[in-house]
Copies of this chain bind each other. A is one copy, B any other.
């Protein structure tokens, strides 16, 4: 059985450039909104494997995407650790019990990942059973630094003053937290692979808020820890690392032992190809384009621009690249644009 996305991530040739979209199961789909209304809460949806599996498969029923990504949230880990995640209407995520001090760090629940996050593994199994065999199944987690940001700030933050206070004033306690999270994330991703994920992606959504010095010490170091462990446990499973704000770190990513680097839309694929010499690249259409463009021909121009930019920088070959957005798809994305995007990428990258 050959899966195009897995093949490309393993450096093999492929009949076309594979495409999937971050947050492809979500609010821009009317069938998602309908199901979400029926269930009630977002978290309840994540925690109900039958529903989560259905939502995971929804975009695959509409579009010829090359992969499904399990419907879940990066904050299920902090939730399992006792922080009690909730989503207030119209707001981002919140915790009833954010971490306040060293005592809270040392008293995080000692969880059995297999047990506490069973619902995610069950969802993966249900999806794999229904998913066409040629489609790739992706599992994911937040990065240690990104999870720590949410756990310390208690919610989304503008300036991350609390995290940065810890970083400069209590680096050794932050290290305890990040090390603990790295261990849990490794186990979590490993269990997702065992449950059927062909590929896993680590979302480092907030690494980009750091200075380069702090990024290496508090984000990159723990990413490396996780990918090194996963490489030993599952040598054939590709790991993709995505950092929002990746531009300053393209050279550094050559040292990261993962298979692919996910790029946001602020760097060109050609620049990234020049700097990241030993990995597959993934990205990076500006997600706003799917909301802002209202003509197929203009959307096609943007797709072609990206395709040619990559090709020109890679000796005329499209190998070593996975098409994606540069960030999650927006709720305002036009569904017709999404369909046109998926079909056009397949068409113009056909070998």
Contact = CB atoms under 8 A, between A and B. Distances in A.
A332 interface: yes
A32 to B, nearest CB: 19
Interface residues of A, number: 38
Interface in A167-201: 167-169
Nearest to A332: B161
B302 A212 contact: no
Nearest to A265: B211
A165 B212 CA distance: 33
Contact of A168 (B165, B167, B248, B293): B293
Given A211-B286, A291-B161, A305-B213, A245 B266 contact: yes
B245 A295 contact: no
A160 interface: yes
Nearest to A269: B212
A268 interface: yes
B295 A169 contact: yes
Nearest to A164: B292
A268 B169 contact: no
Given A167-B292, A168-B292, 14 more contacts: A159-B291, A160-B288, A161-B330, A165-B291, A165-B292, A165-B294, A169-B292, A169-B293, A210-B286, A211-B326, A212-B266, A213-B268, A247-B248, A247-B266
